[in-house]
Amino acid sequence: GAVVSQHPSRVICKSGTSVKIECRSLDFQATTMFWYRQFPKKSLMLMATSNEGSKATYEQGVEKDKFLINHASLTLSTLTVTSAHPEDSSFYICSARGQPVGDEQFFGPGTRLTVL
């Protein structure tokens, strides 16, 4: 199957700083990428959907100025958590779909963010 990578796998930062998480499709063109947030013992909550070259569409309740998403190429999307606070600590997972993989979403391994 298609491979999606995320970098870094873990990041610890101080409160007030910004953190960038990368999501890459390694062997297909990701026309659409999705960012999810997963709290402990909870389901994945979709944060936003981004189409290559377009602005991301954010789910209700997700602050677009805090969670900046860029999808500038067919293989890379980035999520930047700006002015991070401890409550932003979570597991962030991206997924991607595109060509030639079709309708299926392929998930990255996730990034564990800890804000001190």
Partner 1 sequence: AQSVTQPDIHITVSEGASLELRCNYSYGATPYLFWYVQSPGQGLQLLLKYFSGDTLVQGIKGFEAEFKRSQSSFNLRKPSVHWSDAAEYFCAVGSNSNQFYFGTGTSLTVIP
Parallel, antiparallel, or unpaired: how do β-strands 19-25 and 102-107 relate?
unpaired
Can you tell me the distance from the alpha carbon of 55 to that of 23, in angstroms, rounded to the nearest whole number? 16
41 binding partner 1? (CB under 8 A)? yes
Q: State the nearest-atom distance from the C-beta of 43 to partner 1, in Å.
A: 4
42 binding partner 1? (CB under 8 A)? yes
Alpha helices in the chain (DSSP H): none
Contact 7, 22 (CB under 8 A): yes
Coil, strand or helix at 60: coil
Size of the site for partner 1 (CB under 8 A): 24
**Look-up: residue for tokens 């958590």?**
81
50 binding partner 1? (CB under 8 A)? no
Q: Which is nearer to partner 1, 3 or 72 (CB)?
A: 3
108 binding partner 1? (CB under 8 A)? yes
Sketch the per residue contact string, 7 through 36, with partner 1: x for CB under 8 A, - otherwise: -------------------------x-x--
Can you tell me the distance from the alpha carbon of 21 to that of 43, in angstroms, rounded to the nearest whole number? 20
Parallel, antiparallel, or unpaired: how do β-strands 4-7 and 19-25 relate?
antiparallel
Q: State the nearest-atom distance from the C-beta of 67 to partner 1, in Å.
A: 18
Residues that bind partner 1 (CB under 8 A): 1, 4, 6, 32, 34, 41-44, 46, 49, 91, 93, 95, 97, 103-110, 112
